[in-house]
Structure formats: C-alpha cells, structure tokens
Amino acid sequence: IFGTWLFMYNGLNIGDDYYFHLPSILDKYESVINGNGLGGISSEIGNGIGYGASLYYSPLSHYFIVILALVFKPFGISLMTSYKLAFIFVVFLSGIFMYRFALKFTHQNKVASLISSACLILYPYRLFNLFCRLAIAEAFAFTFVPLFLCGLYEITHTKEIKILPFVKVVFGASLLFLSHNLTALFVF
C-alpha cells in the first residue's frame, strides 16, 4: 500500500512522459475498441499519418494496461482505474519477486527478505518514475529485475543443473526487455 498510496487519490499527476505514454495507451485502447487490434502502427496519433511508437519503445506496460482495461470494461472500470490497478499489481508482484530472491541470498532470513522487498517497493527512483515523471515503462520494468537476478543467482549457486533457474532468467530477461529496453540493457 505504501508504494502505491498516491493511486488512491482521484486523477493523475502530469509528468514529463505523460504526453507519450498516456496517448499511446489510449491509442491502443481505442484501436481495440474500433476493431483494429493491438497493431504497432497508430493511425490515431500523428494526424492520421501514423506513428510507430511500438517499433522502438518497449510496449509491454501499455499492452498490459489496455488488456486489463478490456477485461474490466464489462464491470464499469475505466481505463484510468485500470492503469492504477495495473501498477498496484506490478508493485505488489515486484515485492513478491524480491522477497523470493532475497530468501535465496540471505539463506532463508525472512526479516532481511521482507526488508529487501520493502526497499524495492519503496525504491525512490521507481516512485519518482511512477508519480513525478510518469515514466510508466521504466517503473514497470523494475518488476522483473528480481526475477531475472534470482534466476542468475540460482544458476551460479547450485551444484546441480535444474530447469527452473533458466526459465526465470529467460522470462525475467524477456519481460524486462519488453518493459523497458534501456533498463534491461543496464541490468544485463
């Protein structure tokens, strides 16, 4: 709750990346509503000329919000509420991933793992991205960093070869890259 408490208020802060991310989300949502699917080229942005935002910018956060909005649409939940629910969910999920990862490197110390999880959830740069810059793709990417690092840790700290650590690395790396390619570059 502490990592997402600003989402409990009405409205949304307008940050630097607001003018890119929210129109892209709205464009993808309107595209699906109008029957055009989740294509990469937007005919809504750029005065009908087309704009390929998904061609150079990782689209997972946008698609996740749109799909969540479409699932919740029959229940009367708006796109803005779906945006907030998406980030409440991914912040919670990142806490779980970090807790599981910290259990590995602290040798099952639950208190240290809980503190590590709280540190990731309350990470100031992530909160700055969510609430000041509105850099949602970058904030979304922090969810998968612990999953990727947990897989690497398990690969390098086990005596026997198991498939699950490799699955964690593959999924963590893929989801991280599809969330925000520059964050993925730094983590890799």
pLDDT digits (tens, 9 = 90+) for 23-58: 888 888 888 887 777 666 665 566 666 666 666 678
CA distance 73 to 88: 18
User: Per-residue pLDDT for 161 more than 80?
Assistant: yes
pLDDT of residue 103: 97
Asked if residues 176 and 148 have their Cβ atoms less than 8 Å apart, the reply is yes
φ, ψ dihedrals at 106, nearest 5° = -105, 5
Question: Residue 76 is which amino acid?
Answer: G
Q: If we measure between CA atoms, which residue out of 23, 14, 22 comes closest to residue 132?
A: 14
pLDDT one-digit tens code per residue, 104-121: 999 999 999 999 999 999
Q: For the chain, what percent of residues have pLDDT higher than 70?
A: 89
Residue 42's DSSP bridge partners are 51
pLDDT one-digit tens code per residue, 164-175: 999 999 999 999
On average, the pLDDT of the chain sits at: 88
Query: In which band, very low, low, confident or very high, does the pLDDT at 150 lie, cut at 50, 70 and 90?
Result: very high
